[in-house]
Amino acid sequence: MRSTEAPRPLRWWALIATALGLGACTLTKPLPDSTASSAQPATSPSLEPSTARAVAALPKPAQAGDWTSYRIQAATRLVAANPSMSYMGDVPEPLLAIPVLEIELNRDGSVRRINVQRVPHQAKDTVQLAIDAVNRAAPFGDVSHLPRPWKFSEVFLFNDDRHFKPRTLDQ
């Protein structure tokens, strides 16, 4: 008897294709100012700013040779900059939410603009969690040597605890 269910990698690509193709409404979100409270873990909103843990300073990003390497470096940096909001284990099924962001960069790798490509049907707050995570991880490294446009998309896989894993690291 044949199974009608696609293998897991094919299901993920179908999900991503659907997210980018059918649900591709683009909203531009303004970037919030960076403050000490943005480093506060999302799981502890009641902490006062003076007691909030600051995210350790991230090392200067290496120069990636191509966009594939750059995306992997950026995804790794997202996890490193957001240790209390990310996970690296297996992706649970079903996921709580899957927001998709397009990150447009300046020459130096700082964030120029973030476009929301997919807003999940439930847990819409995960879009802002993903945007905040991107801002904490920036800058992502010089892109002046890479072909334009200087932008990439990242799919955020949120579990029930509202912790994310970048899809780039799940391949």
pTM of full prediction above 0.95: no
Residue-range domains of the chain with CATH: 62-171 (3.30.1150)
Query: Each residue's pLDDT tens digit in the chain (171 positions)?
Result: 444 444 444 444 444 433 434 333 334 444 444 333 333 333 333 333 332 333 457 888 888 899 999 999 999 999 999 999 999 999 999 999 999 999 999 999 999 999 999 999 999 999 999 999 999 999 999 999 999 999 999 999 999 999 999 999 997
Q: Helix %, strand %, coil % for the chain, to 5?
A: 30, 20, 55
Q: Please identify which residue in the block is written with the tokens 């094919």.
A: 10
Q: What is the 3-state secondary structure (H, E, C) of 91-131?
A: CCCCCCECCEEEEEECCCCCEEEEEEEECCCCCCHHHHHHH
For residue 165, the tally of other CB atoms under 10 A from its CB is 23
Helices 125-137/67-81 angle, 10° precision: 100
